[in-house]
Structure 1
């Protein structure tokens, strides 16, 4: 079997609703995997693109989060209505969808516009 051209990693992590941070699963992440699988198939990319669900990507304030590898493009606030555009633009034509792309300054940082301000002690 040939290797995949792209892997989609879709966060479906679910925290308790009382947790201080949100979770992608409660923000619609669970619906994204099936939507991506359908869109990949409809675009004729089955066997070239693999859609995988996984647990926390530690970008909870940006959820639902989807990462496209090997391109290392992180998408945030993804909804089912965005799936077709990501598949068509990014996976078919190689153009990341900039309006959904998370800024590098928001990845693995303690502060960004989407995260609450840290409490000082």
Structure 2
């Protein structure tokens, strides 16, 4: 089997109820991962794209989130209906979906419009 060309990590973290920061799993992270795996397979990408559920990706206020490597393209506030567009545009045609892309200014920074 050839090596994977891309890895997609979908946050599946779940915090205790009442936690200060939100978590992705209760907001659809698990369903996103399942839908992504199905869409990758349907697009004929199963041998070149690996879709994985990840623990916390530390972008909690932007969740559910996913990241595509090796490009390091971060997607935030992803909904089930966005999965097919991400697969078709980004994974098949190599064009990141800009409307879902997290701003660089929001990644790994203490100050972002989405953080309290």
TM-score (norm 1): 0.94
Deviation at 1:83, TM superposition (A): 0.2
- Aligned pair count? 116
Larger radius of gyration: 1
Give 2:35's aligned residue.
35
Q: Specify the SS of the correspondent of 1:99.
A: helix
Deviation at 1:26, TM superposition (A): 1.1
Give the unaligned 5+ runs of structure 1: 117-121
Deviation at 1:99, TM superposition (A): 0.5
Aligned equivalents of 2:46, 2:53: Cα separation in 1? 16
Computed over aligned residues only, the root mean square deviation of the Cα atoms, in angstroms, reads 0.6
Q: Specify the SS of the correspondent of 1:40.
A: helix
Give the unaligned 5+ runs of structure 2: none
Give 2:25's aligned residue.
25
Q: Specify the SS of the correspondent of 1:86.
A: helix
Aligned equivalents of 2:24, 2:67: Cα separation in 1? 13
Deviation at 1:2, TM superposition (A): 1.1
